[in-house]
Amino acid sequence: MIFTVAIDGPAAAGKGTISRAVAERFGFAHLDTGALYRAVGVKGGDPVAAARGLTPADLARDDLRTLEAGQAASKVAVIPEVRQALLDFQRDFARRAGGAVLDGRDIGTVICPEAEVKLFVTASPEVRAHRRWLEVGGDAAQVLAEVKERDARDMTRADAPLKPAADAVVIDTSRLSIEEAIAAACAVVSERLCK
């Protein structure tokens, strides 16, 4: 069975947590596409060469969840040649047998516009900044500023800007518990699987 679940949204909205839970619940493979860009960003050097030479070891680095890696990912993600280098990898993963869940910023709009399920997971900048601050610490005001800066960069880039697909189901996690957000996502997937 080929069945793709595309989950997009801004940083710290909960899309990674929801994606992993959906993949586990339905027995699908999971790909955090942001990790690809984070790995390219933290490798340093020429980003295009880094994207073309990405290895499984690069994706296993323990520094991919830092604020610095997130900022680096957002900066290399605006480079069209980097995006192109990672495109085929993501599309092949999405159409693998047994089903796949991909989370990122342009999965439903660019990478997998034919996905059987498209979700857009979001939350207010303040809620997302608080979540990120709980994860990485630091100065709370600076974390909020960085979240807003990253949103602006991701939403206004010329190539594949962050936005919900026209047919995406939007899940706002601002006031939802993790369990409620996962349940909402799983309900959409279950409904589409039954069709």
Query: Can you give the pTM of this predicted structure?
Result: 0.86
pLDDT digit string (tens) for 101-147? 999 999 999 999 999 999 999 999 999 999 999 988 899 999 999 99
Q: Across residues 68-78, what is the average pLDDT?
A: 89
Beta strand extents in the chain (DSSP E only): 4-8, 29-32, 100-104, 117-122, 169-172
CATH 3.40.50.300 fits 4-194, yes or no: yes
Specify whether the CB–CB gap between 2 and 101 falls below 8 A: no
User: In 3D, which of 161, 144, 119 has the Cα closest to residue 17?
Assistant: 119
Domain map (residue ranges) of the chain? 4-194
For residue 89, what pLDDT is reported?
A: 85
Tell me whether residue 80 is annotated as binding.
no
Tell me whether residue 17 is annotated as binding.
yes
Q: How far apart are CA 65 and CA 70, in angstroms?
A: 7
Q: How far apart are CA 40 and CA 101, in angstroms?
A: 21
Q: Across residues 140-167, what is the average pLDDT?
A: 91
Q: Is 177 exposed, middle or buried (0-12, 13-18, 19+ CB in 10 A)?
A: exposed
Tell me whether residue 16 is annotated as binding.
yes
Least confident of 53-57, 60-64, 106-110, 142-146: 53-57
Tell me whether residue 10 is annotated as binding.
yes
Tell me whether residue 158 is annotated as binding.
no
Tell me whether residue 11 is annotated as binding.
yes
Tell me whether residue 99 is annotated as binding.
no
Greater pLDDT, 18 or 157: 18
